[in-house]
Amino acid sequence: MRNVWLVIQREYLEKVRTKAFIFTTMFIPAVMGLSIFLPTKMATMKSSKVTHIAVVASSQATGDAIRSQLAERSQDIGGKYAVDVDLTATEAEHAALAAKVKSGELDGFLWATDDALAARSVTYTARNVSDFFEGVALQAAVTMARMQLRLTAHGIGPDETKDLMQKVSVKVETGEKKASGEFMFIFTFILGAMLFTTVLVYGISVMRSVLEEKNSRVMEVLLSALTPKELMAGKIIGVAAVGLTQIAIWAALGAVLGGPYALAASQVLKGVSIPPATLVFFAVFFLLGYLLYSSMYAALGALVNTDQEGQQLQIVVMGPLLFAYLMMFGVLRQPNSALAFWLSLVPFFAPLLMYMRIMVQPPPAWQVALSIALLIATIYGMVSLCARIYRIGILMYGKRPTLPEIWKWLKYA
């Protein structure tokens, strides 16, 4: 154990002292913050410009209803509308309005005649059609105006009509948890995103660390003082600790810089109960999943001779994680099906799929315990496998080993 600790210490200190570690630790949060803040700010930025449009309708009531609905939604899209109601629904008027749009006299016009509304197909002609929010606002305004007119025609008053058009919130809960299915999926998706990103970034670092020292021939000297298994375990845990340190720093920076958004987040999560065990399992499955895939990257580094070969074969390592991503939707809908049960016990899928089952509908404790035990056993097996490959691989020069050769290494190592 002392030898493993020495390797861990060497790997950890060697990497956290580099300029690359310090630079990426500070640079990546800045880039991520700007990539989230700037697009959101630009998309939600309110404009003082008044959009001048014409609504071509068959009746004044239809035009007034659409104008009223647009006025209500103008606050949501950060703009204002000046709406002219045009009751001349002719081909000549359509051409005249198109000419006004082209010349800049109008920003656009909405063709909302009775025939168009009956066909549920209204046309909006504008100079700029790239504003997604404007399109959504127009569609909602026309839909609600049409509904309002139909209800009014059946003798329902304006106040009652407005009340009927309000959305009804449906809250899904089990009685034991108050978190919605959407929230459960998002929470598991966050785990998957963190695991995928971390494995991709630091797994490659583990592979390169093994590969560089394999090619440097320094390990031929080190292996005289410690076993290949001790060396591999130390390298995997050491590089993993570097990654977890960087993640912890990013989390601390996020907590400090994200303070102003804490109130908004608390309002979004208001009424959502997250059991403490869920957070504990989040940490357990993230850590075990990270160590499992890091050990797979280490085995890949022990197997190949160049960084290019490793990059070409890393899909073999990431494939199981990508498959687990694809199966998350099925497990979310049927967490207790036979397929979900067996897939969640497979160690390569368990970090995502077993955690998804815990979030949606907690399985029996023995299933969770078995999944964790299988994960730990697989990590140990991968480290042993990596060590056996590495023991022979450091003596092989030049060519990429074939599958029969790898089998011989495992057999005789």
pLDDT of residue 15: 77
Q: Are residues 346 and 321 in the same domain?
A: yes
User: Does a structural domain hold residue 24?
Assistant: no
Residue 301 sits in the same domain as residue 325: yes
pLDDT at residue number 342: 92
pLDDT digits (tens, 9 = 90+) for 74-124: 665 556 778 888 888 888 888 888 888 888 888 888 888 888 888 888 888
Q: What angle do CA 162, 59, 151 make, to 5 degrees?
A: 30
Q: Residue 38 domain-assigned?
A: no
Q: Is residue 413 helix, strand or coil? A: coil
Dihedral, CA atoms, 229, 232, 235, 237, nearest 10 degrees? -70
User: Is the sign of the CA dihedral 232, 236, 239, 245 positive or negative?
Assistant: negative
Residues 226 and 108 in one domain: no
d(CA 76, CA 57): 24
- Looking at the structure of the chain, the number of domains it has is 2
Q: Is residue 68 part of a domain?
A: yes
Verify that 186 and 234 share a domain, yes or no: yes
* The last residue of a domain, from among 113, 139, 164: 164
Residues 80 and 182 in one domain: no
CATH number where 156 lies: 3.40.190.10
Give yes or no for residue 161 having a pLDDT over 90.
no
100, 93 in Cβ contact below 8 A? no
pLDDT band for position 336 (50/70/90)? confident
Q: Tell me how far apart the alpha carbons of residues 214 and 220 are, in angstroms, rounded to a whole number.
A: 8
151 and 289 assigned to the same domain:
no
In this prediction, residues 4-27 reach a mean pLDDT of 77
Does one domain contain both 227 and 325? yes
Tokens, residue 76: 């949501």
Q: Which residues contact 9 (CB under 8 A, 6 or more apart)?
A: 238
Indicate whether 24 pLDDT > 50.
yes
Ramachandran sector of residue 166 (left: φ over 0; alpha: ψ -120 to 50; beta: rest): beta
Q: Output the pLDDT for position 218.
A: 61
Q: Is the pLDDT of residue 370 over 90?
A: yes
Query: What is the rounded (10 degree) CA torsion for 378, 381, 386, 392?
Result: -160
Query: In this structure, what DSSP letter does residue 261 have?
Result: G
Residues 99 and 223 reside in one and the same domain: no
317 and 340 share one domain: yes
Give Cα 262 to chain centroid, integer Å.
20
Domain boundary among 136, 164, 192: 164
Average of per-residue pLDDT across 330-347: 87
Q: Are residues 184 and 217 in the same domain?
A: yes
Out of 14-18, 70-74, 284-288, 311-315, which region has the weakest mean confidence (pLDDT)? 70-74
Which range of residues forms the domain containing residue 307? 177-412
Tokens (6 digits) for 234: 């130390």
Residue after which a domain boundary falls, among 164, 199, 218: 164
Residues 164-172: contacts with CB under 8 Å, at least 24 apart: none
- Per-residue pLDDT of 282-310, as tens digits, reads 888 888 888 888 888 888 877 777 777 77
Residue 392 clears pLDDT 80, i.e. is over it: no
pTM: 0.63
